[in-house]
Amino acid sequence: MHDLSAFPITAKWPASHPDRLQLYSLPTPNGVKVSIALEEIGLPYEPHLVDFATNDQLSPAFLSLNPNNKIPAILDPNGPGGRPLALFESGAILVYLADKTGQLLPADPAQRYEALQWLMFQMGGVGPMFGQLGFFHKFAGKDFEDKRPRDRYVAESRRLLGVLDRHLQGKAWLLGDTYTVADIATFPWVNNLIGFYGAGDLVGWGDFKEVDRVLQAFLARPAVQRGLKVPARG
């Protein structure tokens, strides 16, 4: 019997299946990284919607699991040593899931670190830059008369897309023929940039045919299609 009562988050989001990994998230680019990975791996999990519209991420229950009030976060009842493990930060969660299951990261040490470098590239560059561009293009930033902040993020997003485009020439995925957590981390953000943010024209999407090719292959994966909808919005 798995007892998760020691974790205050379970009072706000009770576990119907306490034997399964608990996912606290929202279908944003960062959130779907973990749901896609879980779908790809086939690990049983129970998703819980953290609703930003009602400031769930600022609730004491959520902050007890992630003091940084960001999604996603997980609570794994079957953590290392058979003890529950609470974890936040999408990159850390992806590496944990890969190590836990022996999937989505190469066993070869050199290839593993190559995958991790591209994961860090997404975490340090693609995510923050695309997110800032989204703010200045789609959200409140679009009302700013001074377009220099937006243009800075446009230029940096184009540069990052160029890095990806050159690297992906002749490759199926970021690590060649091997699909990894680096792809799962990167392509939800690329998809969001040209989809939800509507910034394709702004960044000159037509210049990045290799990125588009791999994005379409990514979106065609059944596990990706499922994971993009998790957790389901009410």
206-210 mean pLDDT: 98
Q: Which tens digits make up the pLDDT trace of 36-79?
A: 999 999 999 999 999 999 999 999 999 999 999 999 999 999 99
171 and 115 in a common domain: yes
171 and 119 in a common domain: yes
The predicted pLDDT at position 218 comes to: 99
Kindly state whether residue 18 falls inside one of the protein's structural domains: yes
The predicted pLDDT at position 143 comes to: 84
Domain of 212, CATH number, reads: 1.20.1050.10
Domain final residue pick, 54, 78, 104? 104
Give the strand pairing for 73-76 and 85-88: antiparallel
Q: Which tens digits make up the pLDDT trace of 109-143?
A: 999 999 999 999 999 999 999 999 999 999 888 88
Domain of 93, CATH number, reads: 3.40.30.10
Domain final residue pick, 73, 104, 135? 104
121 and 66 in a common domain: no
214 and 181 in a common domain: yes
| Owning domain of residue 65 | 9-104
Kindly state whether residue 171 falls inside one of the protein's structural domains: yes
Domain final residue pick, 59, 85, 104? 104
176 and 82 in a common domain: no
The predicted pLDDT at position 1 comes to: 53
- pLDDT at residue 153 above 60? yes
Q: Which tens digits make up the pLDDT trace of 91-101?
A: 999 999 999 99
Q: What residues pair up with 76 in beta bridges, in sequence order?
A: 85
The predicted pLDDT at position 193 comes to: 98
Q: Which amino acid is at 126?
A: V
215 and 128 in a common domain: yes
CA distances from 27 to 36, 49, 50, 227 (A): 10, 9, 10, 8
Kindly state whether residue 1 falls inside one of the protein's structural domains: no
Q: Please state the domain count of the chain.
A: 2
118 and 100 in a common domain: no
51 and 92 in a common domain: yes
77 and 16 in a common domain: yes
Q: pTM for the full model?
A: 0.96
Q: What is the mean pLDDT of the chain?
A: 96
94 and 17 in a common domain: yes
Q: Which tens digits make up the pLDDT trace of 213-222?
A: 999 999 999 9
Kindly state whether residue 232 falls inside one of the protein's structural domains: no
Which long-range contacts link 3-7 to residues 24+ away (Cβ below 8 Å)?
Answer: 4/75, 4/77, 4/84, 6/84, 7/64, 7/65, 7/75, 7/84, 7/86
16 and 94 in a common domain: yes
180 and 122 in a common domain: yes
